[in-house]
Amino acid sequence: MSPLAIDKLNLGLLLAALGAAFALPFELFLFAYAVLGPLHYLTEIGWLHERSFFTRGRHDWIVLAAFALLATLGASNVLGAQHVRAIAPFGNHLTFAAFACALVFARFERPLERALGALSVVALTLAFAATAPRAWFLFGLFVTTIVHVAVFTLAFMLFGALKAKSRSGLLVAAAFVACGAAALLVPAGEPSIVGAYVHQSYAPFQVLNRELLRLLGGSGSGAEIFASETGRRVMRCVAFAYTYHYLNWFSKTSIIGWHRVHKGKLALTVAIWLASLALYAASYELGARWLFLLSFAHVILEFPLNHVAFAGIGAELGGRFRRSPRST
C-alpha cells in the first residue's frame, strides 16, 4: 500500500474505533484487549527483536526484560499468594528504572557509558524509592497504560509524518488527537447498564479509570466508573485509545512485513495467539493474568523506541526551524 493509502486507511480506522467507543466502550475495550492485544504484543516484540530493540548494545534488551520479569514476580494481582513479597513494593520503581535505562541504551554508544548510566539509574531509583509514593504509583500506572497507547502512539505518528514530509500523515495525527478529545469531552448522556460479565471482567483495569476520574475532580468510586456520565466519557477515551493503538499497528503492513515472516515463526505466533484467546474465553481474569508478562514486557521493550521517536521529532522540527528563512 502507498503511504497515502495507509493514511486513508488509518483515518477510517480512527473513525471506526471512535464510533465503537461511543456505542459500547467497556465491551470494546475488553474485546480489543483480549483479541487484538496478544497478537500485537507477539508481532511487535518480534519486530523489535529484529531491530535490536532500538538500543545501541546487542544485549541491552535483556536488562529491560529482567525489569519486566521482576515486576511481574512482585505483582500480587497477577501471581496471587505466589508473588515475591520482597519485590512487591517496587513494581513502579522497576518501571521507572526500565524507562530511564531505555533512554541510556538508546542514546549512548560506548558499553562503559551504558553500563555506568544504567547503574546510576538503579542507584538513584533506590535512593529516592521512599519519597513521593503517589508519584511513583501514577508514573508506573500511566506510562504503561494510557501514555503507552495514546502519547507514544501519537509520537510514532508524528515522527513518521515529519520524516516522510507527509501532510496526510500530519492530518491523521491531528485527527487522532481530535477523536480522543471528542471521546473524552462530548457529553455521554445517560450511561447504559453494564452487565455482570463486563463488570467483573473489567475489574483488573478499574484502577486506570479511577485515577483518571480523580484527575478530573471525581471520586473514582466504582459507581462513578460504571454508572456516571463522566465515567462513561473516560471509558470511551480509554477504549478508543487502546483499540486504535492496536489497529494502527496492524495497518503498518509494510513495517511488519507479514509476507517476509518465516512460516515457522508465523505459525508459532498464531498458535500462541489462539491459546491466549482460549484462555480469555475460559476466564477473562485468567487470560489477563497469564498474559500480563507478555503485555507488560512489550511495553517495557518498546521504551527505547519511544525515546528514539521523541528524539526524532525534535530533530525533524529543529531541522525545519533551522532551514526556515529568518525574519529581519
Residue 203 lies in a domain: yes
Q: In terms of pLDDT, which residue wins out, 318 or 154?
A: 154
Under the banding of pLDDT at 50, 70 and 90, the label for residue 223 is confident
Query: Which residues make Cβ contacts (< 8 Å) with residue 243, sequence separation at least 6?
Result: 17, 20, 21, 28, 29, 32, 36
Instruction: Report residue 321's pLDDT band, with 50, 70 and 90 as the boundaries.
Output: confident
Give the pLDDT score at 328: 41
Any domain includes 279: yes
Does residue 315 belong to any structural domain of this protein? Answer: no
Answer yes or no: is 235 within a domain. yes
| Number of compact structural domains in the chain | 1
How does residue 120 score in pLDDT terms, banded at 50, 70 and 90? Answer: very high
- Residue 247 belongs to a domain: yes
Q: Decide if 87 contacts 73 (C-beta within 8 A).
A: yes
Q: What is the pLDDT of residues 281-314, one digit of tens each?
A: 999 999 999 899 999 999 999 999 999 999 999 9
Asked, for residue 113, whether it belongs to a domain, the answer is yes
